[in-house]
């Protein structure tokens, strides 16, 4: 971890080049950071509120809050899983702490999330939400989700080098995970006997916390919040551990 | 502390690569064939120990596949050893492969920052050296272009400029200088000498044995995954060349996967060929075909030593599909050093031999006899050309290591002059 700090300049430049090259060559360029969640939002809103009549007032706002939080996690995990293999030319040719690669993907994803807040907040205000002091919780929740995302990213990135199926399985796996996370529905809609079960999902802790402070205008639920932090840190340490064990043969396996 | 006198300490390091014959990478295959994974182990390094003092310049020699690059990758921590231990004291900058750490879509300048960042440098440190790096690379306006359009020489200029600018304590270089032009190579050598005088540690993999003799203070010869010899560069180079060329001509240099003593070679697809690279024609669609050029001692022995009489045999013939009428041609021969300095050039016209007839059957060949080879020890490039009497090119052939001269007395440079050392007394006027 100390070495990752020494190489922070590299981490930062990889994050920037990731952001820069992501939309390179597309006509709308960086605007896609804003357009693609908006388009997803329209689709989900259409399906769940117009067709399926989900009874949540201001459903689009509710959905948008959860969707952005979910995207930060899911896109980073999906992209990290193949990152060692994609960057094999770096891995094979130069030395650097390999943790940098998945961490840079996570960094890019967090920055993307922060940028997308630039449309979430105006969107909320247009829908009649007023800014509140509770929004000051945001950095703490983003940090929690970033730690969790980094943990899973490190873990999957390392395993994928040896078991390339992971990248393909992950698509379906993440889709299931998405529906087990209260993004398109609220926790209160889950039958009571399962509700506690849903809270075990560490991604839920972050998503529910976003919804609490932004949508319900309530402080975070401390028990859930602390549980979320504890699990995130455990997953992160586990991810570092697994990555550290597996990274010695990366240069030969990719 | 004694340990601090060393920049690199390699002790009893072994590295085995697993070469998968059929790779079971997917889950299905892993489950189905778990019991019979198809791979073989190849030993790239076997119990290698090497201590490199701070400020030393070490040349690594060895035929392809002997483990040189693996050793450099282990020192730079790209690979990890299976057994043994490697200590590195000081910041390492490595030039192992061309284009490593460059992004093809970025401009030269952006890549300088990227490459610097990859070495763990902060942006402002690189910004402070930007001017110096650009000047050194001599890339001019190209520095603002995306590097996907760069030639390999231009890549090398940029990579070298960054690598030396970061003021490394330990510099590892793997044979990439060879792609630069002669002037830039000389500039690189100057820069390396400057680093030497600053007491920096340099480890160099090269096939230019002359450079090892001139520049390194220790040479290490790796052979079949082990250190075969290390010590004074002149001694090591001499033994290395004698042994390797002998083996090459005997045909014992063919790389094998399964050496019975469990000592394998580093397997890289581009290297799994004969170690003695044959020369080749520069173009296939010429009217005349140069089959091969054989350079040997006049008595037929393949090993040429300083002062030997040489025989150069050119197997050339008209191509079957050529319609050209060739009644007489001009043959020429050039010998160059590895850094493209012309040493010797001759052709049948200038030798007043005029046109010569092209051999009409495989039993005939063009022969050039050269008396007592005056070249110093080293590897030379040989170019053979066949033109019409008006200079129209008909065929050209190049063998980048066509002529290897072994100099037992140990003169270095280009020529080996006959010499005698002695002591002269001034005759007293009184």
Kindly write down the DSSP assignment for every residue of chain A, as one continuous string: -HHHHHTHHHHHHHHHHHHHHHTTT-TTGGGHHHHHHHHHHHHHHIIIIIIS----TTHHHHHHHHHHHHHHHHHHHHHHHTHHHHTHHHHHH----TTHHHHHHHHHHHHHHHHHHHHHHHHHHHTT----GGGGGHHHHHHHHHHHHHHHHHHHHHHHHH-THHHHHHHHHHHHHHHTSTTSS-GGGS-HHHHHHHHTSHHHHHHHHHIIIIIS-----HHHHHHHHHHHHHHHHHHHHHHHHHGGGHHHH-
Backbone angle region of B67, left / alpha / beta, with phi > 0 → left and psi within -120 to 50 → alpha: left
Put simply, the answer to whether B100 touches A90 (Cβ < 8 Å) is yes
Asked whether the predicted pLDDT for residue B153 surpasses 90, the reply is no
C-alpha–C-alpha distance, residues A199 and A180, integer Å: 10
Residues 6+ apart with CB under 8 A from B332: B345, B346, B347, B348, B384, B385, B386, B387
Q: Is residue B236 part of a domain?
A: yes
Which residue, among A3, A7, A12, A13, would best test binding to B if mutated, counting the most B CBs under 10 Å from its CB?
Answer: A13
Contact status of B31 with chain A (Cβ, < 8 Å) = no
Put simply, the answer to whether A251 touches B18 (Cβ < 8 Å) is no
Tokens of B338: 């590895």
Whether B177 and B298 share a structural domain: no
Whether B301 and B389 share a structural domain: yes
Work out the angle at residue B61's Cα, subtended by the Cα atoms of residues B59 and B63, and round it to the nearest 5 degrees: 160
Instruction: Note the ipTM here.
Output: 0.75
> How would you list the strands of the sheet with B38-53, edge to edge?
B38-53, B6-22, B83-88
The least confident of A150-159, B116-125, B192-201 is: B116-125
Put simply, the answer to whether B113 touches A92 (Cβ < 8 Å) is no
Asked whether the predicted pLDDT for residue A124 surpasses 60, the reply is yes
Q: Which domain holds residue A239?
A: 2-253
C-alpha–C-alpha distance, residues B90 and B168, integer Å: 8
Whether B7 and B53 share a structural domain: yes
Residue B24 confidence (pLDDT): 60
Which residue, among B25, B69, B73, B78, would best test binding to A if mutated, counting the most A CBs under 10 Å from its CB?
Answer: B78
Tokens of B255: 């790389």
Q: What residue of A is the nearest CA neighbor of B103?
A: A17
Q: Which of A45-49, A133-137, A188-192, B384-388 has the highest mean pLDDT?
A: A133-137
Count other Cβ atoms within 10 Å, centred on residue B356: 14
Contact status of A92 with chain B (Cβ, < 8 Å) = yes
How many domains are there within chain A?
Answer: 1
Q: Is residue B152 part of a domain?
A: no
The pLDDT-based confidence of B276 (bands split at 50, 70, 90) is very low
Contact status of A50 with chain B (Cβ, < 8 Å) = no
Name the B residues in 74-133 with CB < 8 Å from any A CB: 76-80, 92, 94, 96-97, 99-101, 103, 105-106, 113-114, 116-118, 120-123
Instruction: Dump pLDDT digits (tens) for B161-172.
Output: 888 887 888 999
Q: β-pairing, B92-95 with B170-174? A: parallel
Average pLDDT over residues B44-67: 90
Q: Which domain holds residue B229?
A: 2-90+169-250
The pLDDT-based confidence of B2 (bands split at 50, 70, 90) is very low
Q: Is residue B115 part of a domain?
A: no
Asked whether the predicted pLDDT for residue B141 surpasses 80, the reply is yes
Asked whether the predicted pLDDT for residue B73 surpasses 60, the reply is yes
Q: Is residue B101 part of a domain?
A: no
C-alpha–C-alpha distance, residues A44 and A64, integer Å: 9
Average pLDDT over residues B95-113: 82
Put simply, the answer to whether A9 touches B73 (Cβ < 8 Å) is no
The pLDDT-based confidence of B429 (bands split at 50, 70, 90) is low
User: Which of B25, B96, B120 has its CB closest to that of A9?
Assistant: B120
Q: Is residue B346 part of a domain?
A: yes
Instruction: Dump pLDDT digits (tens) for A196-253.
Output: 788 789 999 999 999 999 999 999 999 999 999 999 999 999 999 999 999 888 988 8
Residue B242 confidence (pLDDT): 77
Kindly report the CATH number assigned to the domain that includes residue B346: 2.70.50.60
Residues 6+ apart with CB under 8 A from A136: none
| Gap from A22 CA to chain B (nearest CA, Å) | 12
Whether B74 and B173 share a structural domain: yes
Residue A4 confidence (pLDDT): 85
Average pLDDT over residues B59-78: 89
Residue A143 confidence (pLDDT): 97
Instruction: Dump pLDDT digits (tens) for B361-379.
Output: 777 888 888 888 888 888 8
Instruction: Dump pLDDT digits (tens) for B42-52.
Output: 888 989 999 99
Instruction: Dump pLDDT digits (tens) for A138-148.
Output: 999 999 999 99
Average pLDDT over residues B397-414: 78
Which residue, among B117, B166, B172, B269, would best test binding to A if mutated, counting the most A CBs under 10 Å from its CB?
Answer: B117
Q: Is residue B132 part of a domain?
A: no
Asked whether the predicted pLDDT for residue A60 surpasses 70, the reply is yes
Put simply, the answer to whether B76 touches A95 (Cβ < 8 Å) is yes
| Gap from B59 CA to chain A (nearest CA, Å) | 20
What contacts 24+ positions apart, CB below 8 Å, involve A162-169? A162/A246, A162/A253, A163/B25, A163/B27, A163/B30, A164/A85, A164/B25, A164/B26, A165/B26, A165/B27, A166/A81, A167/A81, A167/A82
> How would you list the strands of the sheet with B92-95, edge to edge?
B92-95, B170-174, B201-205, B57-61, B218-223, B226-231
Higher pLDDT, A209 or B418: A209
Whether B359 and B211 share a structural domain: no
Asked whether the predicted pLDDT for residue B314 surpasses 60, the reply is yes
The phi and psi torsions of B299 (rounded to 5 degrees) equal: -90, 5
Residue B253 confidence (pLDDT): 56
Residue A146 confidence (pLDDT): 97
Q: Which of A104-118, B204-218, B381-395 has the highest mean pLDDT?
A: A104-118
User: Which of B105, B116, B118 has its CB closest to that of A96?
Assistant: B118
Asked whether the predicted pLDDT for residue B408 surpasses 70, the reply is no
The angle, 0 to 180 degrees and rounded to 10, between the axes of the packed helices A59-81 and A202-210 is 140
How many domains are there within chain B?
Answer: 2
Residue B261 confidence (pLDDT): 38
Asked whether the predicted pLDDT for residue B35 surpasses 70, the reply is no
Kindly report the CATH number assigned to the domain that includes residue B202: 3.40.50.300
Residue B262 confidence (pLDDT): 36
Residue A76 confidence (pLDDT): 95
Q: Which of A20-34, A59-73, B103-117, B328-342 has the highest mean pLDDT?
A: A59-73
Asked whether the predicted pLDDT for residue B37 surpasses 70, the reply is no
A94 contacts in B (CB within 8 Å)? 76, 78, 94, 96, 100-101, 118
Residue B275 confidence (pLDDT): 33
Put simply, the answer to whether A252 touches B17 (Cβ < 8 Å) is yes
Asked whether the predicted pLDDT for residue B269 surpasses 50, the reply is no
CA B54 and chain centroid, separation: 25
Residue A10 confidence (pLDDT): 81
Residue B167 confidence (pLDDT): 80
Q: Nearest CA to B242 among B174, B160, B301?
A: B301
Q: What residue of B is the nearest CA neighbor of A16?
A: B114
* % of chain B at pLDDT higher than 70: 84
Asked whether the predicted pLDDT for residue A157 surpasses 90, the reply is yes
Residue B260 confidence (pLDDT): 34
Whether B237 and B287 share a structural domain: no
Average pLDDT over residues A126-131: 90
Put simply, the answer to whether B100 touches A6 (Cβ < 8 Å) is no
Residue B265 confidence (pLDDT): 37
* % of chain B at pLDDT higher than 90: 12
Whether B324 and B370 share a structural domain: yes
Instruction: Dump pLDDT digits (tens) for A1-55.
Output: 778 887 887 888 888 877 777 766 676 777 777 888 888 888 988 888 888 888 8
Residue A109 confidence (pLDDT): 93
Average pLDDT over residues B106-133: 85
Mean pLDDT of all residues belonging to chain B: 80
Mean pLDDT of all residues belonging to chain A: 89
B94 contacts in A (CB within 8 Å)? 94-95
Average pLDDT over residues A69-81: 95
Interface A-B: count of C-beta contacts within 8 A = 66
The least confident of B203-217, B247-261, B321-335 is: B247-261
């Amino acid at each position: 971890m100390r070495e990752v700090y020494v190489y922070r300049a590299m981490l930062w430049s990889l994050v920037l080049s990731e952001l820069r090259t992501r939309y390179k060559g597309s006509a709308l360029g960086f605007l896609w950071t804003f357009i693609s969640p908006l388009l997803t939002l329209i689709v989900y809103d259409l399906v769940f509120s117009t067709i399926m009549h989900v009874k949540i007032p201001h459903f689009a706002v509710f959905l948008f809050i959860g969707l952005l939080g979910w995207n930060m996690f899911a896109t980073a995990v999906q992209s990290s899983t193949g990152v060692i293999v994609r960057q094999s030319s770096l891995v094979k040719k130069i030395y650097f702490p390999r943790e940098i690669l998945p961490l840079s993907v996570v960094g890019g994803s967090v920055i993307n999330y922060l940028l997308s807040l630039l449309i979430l907040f105006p969107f909320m205000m247009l829908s009649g939400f007023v800014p509140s002091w509770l929004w000051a919780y945001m950095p703490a929740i983003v940090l929690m989700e970033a730690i969790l995302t980094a943990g899973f990213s490190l873990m999957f990135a390392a395993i994928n080098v040896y078991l390339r199926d992971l990248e393909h399985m992950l698509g379906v796996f993440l889709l299931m995970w998405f529906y087990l996370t209260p993004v398109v529905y609220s926790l209160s809609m889950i039958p009571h006997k399962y509700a506690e079960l849903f809270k075990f999902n560490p991604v839920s802790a972050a998503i529910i916390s976003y919804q609490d402070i932004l949508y319900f205008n309530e402080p975070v639920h401390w028990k859930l919040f602390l549980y979320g932090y504890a699990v995130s840190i455990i997953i992160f340490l586990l991810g570092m551990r697994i990555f550290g064990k597996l990274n010695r043969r990366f240069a030969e396996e990719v | 502390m004694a340990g601090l006198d060393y920049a690199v300490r390699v002790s009893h390091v072994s590295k085995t690569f697993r070469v998968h014959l059929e790779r079971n990478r997917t889950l299905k295959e892993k489950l189905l064939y778990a019991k019979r994974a198809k791979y073989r182990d190849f030993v790239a390094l076997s119990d290698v120990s090497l201590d490199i003092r701070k400020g030393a310049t070490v040349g690594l020699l060895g035929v392809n596949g002997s483990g040189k690059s693996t050793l450099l990758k282990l020192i730079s921590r790209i690979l990890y050893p299976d057994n043994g231990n490697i200590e590195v004291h000081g910041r390492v900058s490595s030039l192992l492969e061309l284009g490593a750490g460059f992004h093809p879509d970025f401009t030269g300048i952006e890549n300088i920052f990227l490459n610097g960042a990859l070495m763990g440098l902060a942006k402002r440190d690189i910004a402070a050296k930007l001017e110096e790096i650009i000047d050194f690379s001599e890339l001019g306006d190209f520095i603002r272009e995306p590097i996907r359009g760069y030639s390999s020489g231009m890549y090398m200029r940029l990579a070298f400029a960054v690598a030396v600018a970061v003021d490394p304590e330990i510099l590892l270089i793997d044979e990439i200088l060879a792609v630069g032009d002669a002037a830039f190579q000389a500039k690189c050598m100057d820069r390396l000498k400057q680093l030497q005088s600053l007491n920096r540690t340099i480890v160099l993999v090269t096939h230019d044995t002359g450079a090892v003799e001139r520049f390194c203070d220790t040479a290490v010869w790796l052979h079949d995954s082990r250190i075969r010899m290390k010590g004074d560069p002149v001694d090591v180079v001499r033994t290395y060349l004698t042994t390797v060329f002998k083996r090459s001509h005997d045909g014992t240099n063919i790389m094998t996967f399964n050496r019975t003593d469990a000592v394998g070679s580093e397997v890289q697809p581009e290297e799994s060929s004969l170690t003695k690279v044959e020369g080749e024609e520069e173009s296939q669609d010429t009217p005349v075909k140069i089959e091969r050029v054989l350079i040997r001692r006049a008595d037929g022995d393949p090993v040429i030593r300083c002062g030997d009489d040489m025989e150069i045999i050119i197997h050339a013939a008209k191509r079957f599909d050529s319609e050209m009428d060739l009644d007489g041609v001009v043959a020429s021969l050039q010998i160059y050093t590895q850094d493209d300095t012309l040493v010797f050039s001759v052709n049948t016209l200038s030798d007043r031999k005029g046109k010569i007839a092209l051999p009409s059957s495989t039993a005939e060949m063009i022969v050039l006899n050269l008396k007592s080879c005056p070249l110093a020890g080293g590897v030379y490039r040989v170019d053979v050309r066949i033109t019409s009497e008006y200079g129209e090119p008909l065929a050209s052939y190049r063998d980048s290591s066509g002529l290897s001269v072994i100099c037992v007395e140990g003169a270095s440079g280009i020529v080996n002059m006959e010499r005698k050392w002695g002591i002269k007394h001034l005759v007293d006027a009184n």
